[in-house]
Amino acid sequence: MSALEPLLLLHPSDTIAVARRALQQGESVTVAGRCVTITEAIPVNHKVALISIPKGATIRKFGQPIGSAASDISPGQWVHVHNVSIEREKSGYEFSTELVSFPAPTPRTFQGYRRKNGSAGTRNYIAVISTVNCSATTSRYVAQELSKSDLSAFPNIDGVIPIVHKSGCAFAYNGEDHLLLNRTLAGFARHPNIAACIVLGLGCETAQASHLQETQGLVQLGGRKASADSSLPMILNIQEVGGVRRTVDRAVGVLRELLPDANNVRREPIPLSELILGLQCGGSDGASGITANPALGYASDLLVAHGGGSVLAETPEVYGAEQLLTRRSISRSVGAQLLERIRWWEDYAKKNNASIDNNPSYGNKQGGLTTIIEKSLGAVAKGGTAPLRAVYQFAEPITEKGFTFMDTPGYDPISVTGLVAGGCQVVVFTTGRGSCFGCKPTPTIKVATNTPLYNRMREDMDLNAGSILDGNTIENVGTEIFEKIVAVASGDKTLSEQQGIGDEEFCPWMPGPIF
């Protein structure tokens, strides 16, 4: 396909094409040997009908159905929310029918931190973790006070981060939300990018520190000499210590003693097989499924070929494309686990008088996405072609290598929080509208789906996949993303890290009622 052609036909069976540039009414354009006269203005990355599509007929993109015509659509007409309705085809699912394998590449390493428990980190942070919103301010005070220390004397420490949130109480004790929060907090406490941490509670909240200790194996401070690089953080309760000021003083004093030990690390070669990559997209547009997402999928396959792990998430943004993943599941059981999560979301939406079809967002639609099926077909491209080996609950520890899936909402801060809690040491975040995101302690690489966005937000976008629309290849850009992953895992700072972004993005998922 010539880079000069104004329309992209993504699959021979498609009934629409994608506008590479804004098209004007009356323009005659050629795509795949056919001439189409544009009947109305078409924004860039939006869809143009190639043939007559009668009302009720299926509209196809990526070779897949994305909805049906809500009215008769003529060739050259703009195809979008005003004339498209979402109707899913009711065909059955196939399992394990599209399994591929990759040739073993030459072994590669990244320069990471080898922890005493054997895990591998890409960053080296101190963390102050709050069990409840009531201890959030105290946690921030501890982080601020500790940051006043002369950290220049500890050059191997990346910083001090408060892990705070708006929850921790008013839900059922030992209930699903309580256990989910515990799993999330423990995932951050044990994360290989954390050298040392302390957990701060208030004392009377539902999310008791003692319960966290019992269910997650975290240890209460008291007589035990703390040591950095331990999977067992210390726990303090404000009410027991005697108030905010005393808690701050005590926590800061303990953590200051840990700074030399936390700083006593050096990067060393670690096999890429020990790297787990989080796959995320946000602020998607009509180019996401054409450029950045398939390029990231290519990078994901490269990492999987090296024995590493990559994790797709955002279950509501797989809806309508889950059949592509079940075909790649290594067993019927794995595929069924994914479908069970899809059904859970259908039921969850129904119980809350909502519909999964409410996604895409306003910005997604402005960028050219029309239905959740279209968005999902582009989103799953981030997962490449590797077999689907496991399906995880939110924030569940990721233990399987290769390509896996984690059940999360589509809301980016919550989704990435789950991926990081699961153990991802690097995240790649694709965006077409311009999401500004970071999530300490895990570095986030942002990839623009289109060149105008990349040029407009050069200080925020690490890479430009929009060059694919200008004639570059998915393989070239995917290789560039892969090499960037290795470089960032080895210590290169992402643009979000350079701007200090990532302290506010911790966002546990609370799907249940609040009392």
- Walk across the sheet containing 47-49 and list its strands: 7-8, 16-19, 47-49, 78-79
**The dihedral formed by the CA atoms of 438, 344, 382 and 307, expressed in degrees to the nearest 10:** 90
Helix axes 136-147, 244-263, angle to 10 degrees: 50
Q: Which pLDDT value is given to residue 232? A: 55
The answer to whether residues 287 and 470 touch, using CB atoms and an 8 Å cutoff, is no
User: And the tokens for 51?
Assistant: 């043939």
Beta-strand pair 402-406/309-312: parallel
What percent of the chain stands above pLDDT 90? Answer: 86
Terminal-residue alpha carbon distance, the chain: 57
Q: Which pLDDT value is given to residue 220? A: 45
Mean pLDDT value of segment 85-107: 89
Mean pLDDT value of segment 227-234: 56
Element containing residue 269 per DSSP (H, E): strand 268-271
Q: Which pLDDT value is given to residue 92? A: 85
d(CA 105, CA 86): 42
pLDDT tens-digit profile of 323-378? 999 999 999 999 999 999 999 999 999 999 988 876 678 889 999 999 999 999 99
Domain residue ranges of the chain, discontinuous segments joined by +: 7-85, 125-263, 274-498
The answer to whether residues 184 and 397 touch, using CB atoms and an 8 Å cutoff, is no
Is residue 228's pLDDT more than 60? no
**Please, which residues bridge with residue 428 across strands?**
279, 445
Q: How confident is the model at residue 217 (pLDDT cuts 50, 70, 90)?
A: confident
Q: Which pLDDT value is given to residue 242? A: 97
Fold of the 125-263 domain? Ribose 5-phosphate Isomerase B; Chain: A, (3.40.1400)
Q: Which pLDDT value is given to residue 90? A: 65
Residues found in the chain: 515
d(CA 400, CA 390): 7
CATH class of 7-85: mainly beta
Is residue 231's pLDDT more than 50? no
Which residue type occupies 350? K
d(CA 425, CA 443): 7
Q: How confident is the model at residue 4 (pLDDT cuts 50, 70, 90)?
A: low
Mean pLDDT value of segment 298-318: 97
3-state secondary structure at position 339: helix
Q: Which pLDDT value is given to residue 152? A: 86
The answer to whether residues 189 and 131 touch, using CB atoms and an 8 Å cutoff, is no
What is the pLDDT of the chain when averaged over all its residues? 93
Q: Which pLDDT value is given to residue 5? A: 84
d(CA 285, CA 361): 10
Is residue 431's pLDDT more than 50? yes
Name the residue with higher pLDDT: 217 or 220. Answer: 217
Q: Which pLDDT value is given to residue 173? A: 95
Q: Where are the beta strands (DSSP E) in 374-419?
A: 388-392, 402-406
Q: Which pLDDT value is given to residue 361? A: 85
d(CA 484, CA 329): 28
d(CA 403, CA 400): 8
Q: What is the pTM of this model?
A: 0.95
Element containing residue 162 per DSSP (H, E): strand 159-163
Helix axes 474-489, 292-305, angle to 10 degrees: 60
Q: How confident is the model at residue 107 (pLDDT cuts 50, 70, 90)?
A: very high
Computed on alpha carbons and rounded to an integer, the radius of gyration of the chain in Å comes to: 24
The answer to whether residues 152 and 159 touch, using CB atoms and an 8 Å cutoff, is no
Mean pLDDT value of segment 36-61: 96
Q: Does 125-263 match 7-85 at the fold level?
A: no
Residues 6+ apart with CB under 8 A from 374: 61, 66, 67, 289, 320, 360
Q: Which pLDDT value is given to residue 449? A: 97
Is residue 282's pLDDT more than 90? yes
d(CA 41, CA 58): 23
Mean pLDDT value of segment 199-220: 86
Name the residue with higher pLDDT: 513 or 109. Answer: 109
Closest CA to 23 of 89, 79, 95: 79
Half-sphere exposure of 370 (CA within 13 A, CB side): 25
pLDDT tens-digit profile of 451-492? 999 999 999 999 999 999 988 999 999 999 999 999 999 999
User: And the tokens for 143?
Assistant: 């982080």
Closest CA to 450 of 297, 280, 282, 287: 287
Q: Which pLDDT value is given to residue 354? A: 87
d(CA 297, CA 428): 11
pLDDT tens-digit profile of 136-170? 999 999 999 998 878 889 999 999 999 999 999 99
Q: Which pLDDT value is given to residue 223? A: 35
Mean pLDDT value of segment 88-103: 88
Name the residue with higher pLDDT: 439 or 3. Answer: 439
